């Protein structure tokens, strides 16, 4: 995904984040020398989490995330496909301030 986003932190270091942009799917098969890409389509990601300061300069955090990408693909002139991806995840972070 290529796009932009915003993150909001509360005073207790809870945060929510959202990103919006363009994404696509690519396939590369080196054994058969085959590659293909889709058109670009809407892509977004949502994230929520918490950070804990463990020292004056270091913080550790955890978050859950959800992302979606939806694109059109035209493998041939008479065929149109709509491809969707739903992604869920758990993230861990270390912050140096």
Nearest to 84 by CA among 17, 24, 22, 36: 24
Segment 26-47, tens digit of pLDDT: 889 999 888 888 889 999 999 9
Reduced to 3 states, what is the DSSP secondary structure of residue 21? Answer: strand
Q: What is the pLDDT of residues 19-31, one digit of tens each?
A: 999 999 988 999 9
SS3 (DSSP) at 55: coil
Task: Please check whether the domain covering 2-96 is classified as CATH 3.40.50.150.
Answer: no
Query: Can you give the pLDDT at residue 52?
Result: 97
Handedness of CA 73, 75, 76, 79 (dihedral sign): negative
| Tens digit of each residue's pLDDT (9 = 90 or more) over 41-82 | 999 999 999 999 999 999 999 999 999 999 988 777 888 888
Residue ranges covered by each domain of the chain: 2-96
């Amino acid at each position: 995904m290529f796009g932009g986003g915003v993150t909001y932190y509360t005073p207790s270091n809870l945060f929510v984040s959202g990103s919006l942009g363009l994404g696509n799917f690519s396939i590369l098969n080196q054994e058969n020398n085959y590659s293909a890409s889709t058109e670009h389509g809407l892509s977004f990601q949502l994230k929520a989490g918490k950070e804990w300061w463990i020292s004056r300069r270091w913080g550790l955090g955890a978050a859950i995330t959800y992302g979606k990408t939806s694109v059109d693909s035209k493998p041939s002139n008479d065929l149109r496909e709509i491809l969707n991806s739903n992604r869920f995840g758990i993230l861990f972070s270390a912050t140096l301030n």
